[in-house]
Amino acid sequence: MSNPALKTSDPSSPDDPQQHDDAAGYYVPGEPIADTKAPAGPVEDKWDTRQFEARIVNPANRRKVSVIMVGTGLAGGSAAATLGEAGYQVKTFCYQDSPRRAHSIAAQGGINAAKNYKGDGDSVHRLFYDTIKGGDYRSRETNVFRLAQVSTNIIDQCVAQGVPFAREYGGLLDNRSFGGVQVSRTFYARGQTGQQLLLGAYQALERQIGAGTVQQYSRHEMVELVVVDGRARGVIVRDMVTGELETHLADVVVLASGGYGNVFFLSTNAMGCNVTATWRAHRKGAYMANPCYTQIHPTCIPVSGAHQSKLTLMSESLRNDGRIWVPKDAKDADKDPREIAEDDRDYYLERIYPSFGNLVPRDIASRQAKNMCDEGRGVGPEVEGVRRGVYLDFSEAIDRLGRPAIESKYGNLFDMYARITGEDPYEVPMRIYPAVHYVMGGLWVDYDLQSSIPGLFVAGEANFSDHGANRLGASALMQGLADGYFVLPNTIRDYLADSPFEKIDESHPAVVEAREAAEARIAHFLSNKGTRSVDSYHRELGNIMWEYCGMERTEDGLKKAIDLIRTLKDDFWRNVKVLGSGDGVNQSLEKAGRVADFFELGELMCIDALNRRESCGGHFRGESQTEDGEALRHDDQYAYVAAWEWAGEGEKPVLHKEDLVYEAVKMAARSYK
């Protein structure tokens, strides 16, 4: 019997995907692309083969090679430390006042690794399979298998650095389970895993700063990429304290600048997170892959009013012991949850997905929470006439394990929730609702993590490579450290074996062009005689993105969004008001540049979503769902990476497709029931 969630094309049907190109007229078809760096042979041998085949730079020559690293979170910090340790001359740039302030610090729940410490059947292949399945068969097989292989090394590296992972009674490292899997493979440090891992990478980075192999530039924001003769050779950065534009040149540039979830304005990202570094590279020729793939996280503290500028994430690890429910009857939505009888509660994830229950992947948990609230069974205070919240209840776990056990596992998370909401989660169930979190899209890279611009490498969340249409929980930290400690240092050397490259200076025409472009952009914002603040435009753009390119998308909605974004963007360039000068700290000026890039990104996200008339992972098209409302893929039409090329100001983007080929797994309908 054929599976309804797979190849469903019927040429006689008016709803057949073959009869549709919803994005026709919005883009230009381009030549197909492929990853040419992954070696031939069995998937389990590819990484060893590539490491051997990649050329080597001898230690004496490394001292002559210069590397620019943009971003110093887990991916950038670990990569810079490793490259510095190897002897390369590295410059790092971050817009924060310290690498310790990178958004990686906000990751709470844990980091995956296929150690099988619990003896419950885990393996490298199972982690690989869970990641491919969790991404709804829209990630690249070769990269994901490498990620699973390298995961085991990450834990050893971090333990050696002194990262205080949780331990069992006997002293062995503890594990807990996370959504989308049926084994315990997630290593954690209470609810502070990202912070502890970042401190480990930061210490390694500081060691190299002390040794003189790394120069650290904090409070510096990249505003332009320098491309010389088709190769990335440097960056233009703005000193955010003095306002001065600086030119930094090198043999190779690495972007590890994180994700772009703040295009939605309200998200779990730090307010400073932006797309500018990668978008400046995109405009210079780096393909942007799968930009519409956005992760909606199911365990966020609900919106409390229109005054908010960001949302607060509660760790997904809470779903290990917390049970998610809503009232069966909408009339009970405003009751004290402790007064709602057990028989009147709908533990809907346990009901719909009995095999995984509360541990279904993030996209499924998020969509079902939205469905419950759309039915009128949401809980919590009404915001704009709607209750957007479901309960995450620990009463059963507290009765079973005792309050001290829950405090030891989740105490800081419970304290954070209590401080933000004024409610005691030990006594009253938490309220959660989905929110924009991670992005699976990013700059296209090959197996070596090199973009379509030679000499421009991309690591961590800034690239697209590992998570497909939905990221499994506890995999962000894994990818960041895998890229930084183990992958990039081994692959970048093949490119650098041809270095040092021809020396260039600030008088080179390509450098002058990049600097003048940055100066002109800043001058426009400071001289524009508008009347609206940057934040007002950002909030309006975010509302458009959430409404039409958020948890559910439709053809009509996406086309409407594109029109709205274009109109708002035109108004932004004419009517934005930036106070102050460019000669010092000016947060309004910083935001203006970032929001300008968000407008262009938001439009491309909608075009990408319009082009993909299927539901997969976190990308749910209303036109493509099964009879019971689950995501409906169309593998015969959309089993590809959508890599978009910038064609110029006002021109339609060019779509290049990379076919996804699976040899070690077979594409199947994703079921967690």
Q: What separation in angstroms does the CA of 455 have from each of 253, 282, 463?
A: 6, 14, 15
Q: What is the pTM of this model?
A: 0.95
How large is the average pLDDT for residues 295-307? Answer: 90
Inter-residue contact 461 to 442 (CB < 8 Å): yes
Confidence label for 1 from pLDDT (cuts 50, 70 and 90): very low
pLDDT digits (tens, 9 = 90+) for 144-179: 999 999 999 999 999 999 999 999 989 999 999 888
Inter-residue contact 302 to 389 (CB < 8 Å): yes
- The rounded distance, in Å, linking the Cα atoms of 588 and 532 is 12
Confidence label for 501 from pLDDT (cuts 50, 70 and 90): very high
b/e burial code for range 266-278 (CB count within 10 A of at least 16 → b)? bbbbbebbbbbbb
pLDDT digits (tens, 9 = 90+) for 517-560: 999 999 999 999 999 999 999 999 999 999 999 999 999 999 99
How large is the average pLDDT for residues 286-296? Answer: 97
- The rounded distance, in Å, linking the Cα atoms of 368 and 325 is 11
pLDDT of residue 403: 97
Residues annotated catalytic, as ranges: 362
- Report the SS3 class of residue 500: coil
Inter-residue contact 626 to 669 (CB < 8 Å): no
Q: What is the DSSP string of 369-423?
A: HHHHHHTT---SSEETTEE--EEEE-HHHHHHH-HHHHHHHHHHHHHHHHHHHS-
Average pLDDT taken over every residue of the chain? 94
- The rounded distance, in Å, linking the Cα atoms of 86 and 79 is 11
- The rounded distance, in Å, linking the Cα atoms of 413 and 408 is 10
Q: What separation in angstroms does the CA of 96 have from each of 221, 246, 538?
A: 9, 17, 21
Query: Which residues, including other chains, have CB under 8 Å from residue 97's CB and lie 6 or more apart?
Result: 218, 219
Any idea what DSSP says for residue 327? E
- Report the SS3 class of residue 103: helix
Span between the terminal Cα atoms of the chain, in Å: 18
Q: What separation in angstroms does the CA of 282 have from each of 225, 455, 588, 600?
A: 9, 14, 24, 11
